[in-house]
Amino acid sequence: MFDDFFLRAVVAGVGLALTTGPLGCFIIWRRMAYFGDTISHSALLGVALSLLFQLNLILSVFAVAAAVSILLLFLQRRQALSADALLGILSYATLAIGLVIVAFMSWIRIDLIAFLFGDILAVNRLDIALIWGGGILVLAAITWLWRPLLASTVNPELAEAEGLQPERAKLFFMLLMAVVIAIAMKIVGILLITALLIIPAATARRFAATPEMMAVFASLIGAVAVVGGLFGSLRYDTPSGPSIVVAALVLFIISLLPLARRVGAPATQHGGQGS
């Protein structure tokens, strides 16, 4: 009925959506959407370095994203600039440096569109194994970090007083973001990763009564967006990555309609700290 490449795309996309759901919730709660953009933009620098030095693509992207996360934490502690200014500098600097390095490598033919917007239809079985394997590890880590992350989101001072080490939890969370961006880049692309993290979580917030319920709903909504976007892409011959994001946006708009009655609000709705 469907070609193998389409089925592989569905399996890979659903696996990624299940992983991005809980992470996206913490991005919403902690108001870190701009941080997600910064880390995703840094992925292009990782791509450029992997091509320049013939390194593994995913490991290179993860290394650069992790380095940017650690650098951001260091600069925030120096308090030289506001968080949004630091994020803006790092976001556009890493993106620009990556583009400049790519431009210098005239001996390599690079499909920038595939890196920027993804090519989920090109995933193979190894990619699927990496996405699901990495996703399981990320979800296990989120489960382990759930209490300190949630506590520091609601009240960092109280979390510190209880010995939950919120700064360490935040660092681990940033590294998990780097992992997800590294494995998600091939599916939705550098410019659309943050959308897949944020939009399903924002949609889930309309219906969830608890943080745990919101995390589950975000994963399910992301999976529905992936399947809907891929079928829409197949039906209308549109780019697969952007089609997935558009499907997620449609679900978010539907959640705003009066008929989509809000069931409850997560406990962290009024909490959250900027990155």
Tens of pLDDT, residues 14-42:
999 999 999 999 999 988 888 888 988 89
Is pLDDT above 70 for 188?
Answer: yes
**What six digits make up the tokens of 80?**
């030289």
CA dihedral 200, 202, 203, 205 (to 10 degrees): 120
Q: Helix and strand tally (H, E) in the chain? A: 11, 0
Determine what percent of the chain falls in helix, strand and coil, rounding each to the nearest 5.
75, 0, 25
CA 183/CA 176 separation, integer angstroms: 11
Question: Does domain 4-256 correspond to CATH entry 1.10.3470.10?
Answer: yes
| Average pLDDT score, the chain | 87
Domain boundaries, the chain: 4-256
With a threshold of 0.85, does the pTM exceed it?
yes
Contact 44, 64 (CB under 8 A): no
- Rounded mean pLDDT of 78-103? 87
List Cα–Cα distances, 13 to 9, 84, 116, 193, in angstroms. 6, 31, 17, 12
Confidence of residue 259 (pLDDT cuts 50, 70, 90): low
Confidence of residue 238 (pLDDT cuts 50, 70, 90): very high
CA 26/CA 48 separation, integer angstroms: 29
Q: How far is CA 105 from the centre of its chain?
A: 28
Only one residue has tokens 């089925």, namely: 7
pLDDT one-digit tens code per residue, 143-162: 999 988 998 888 878 878 87
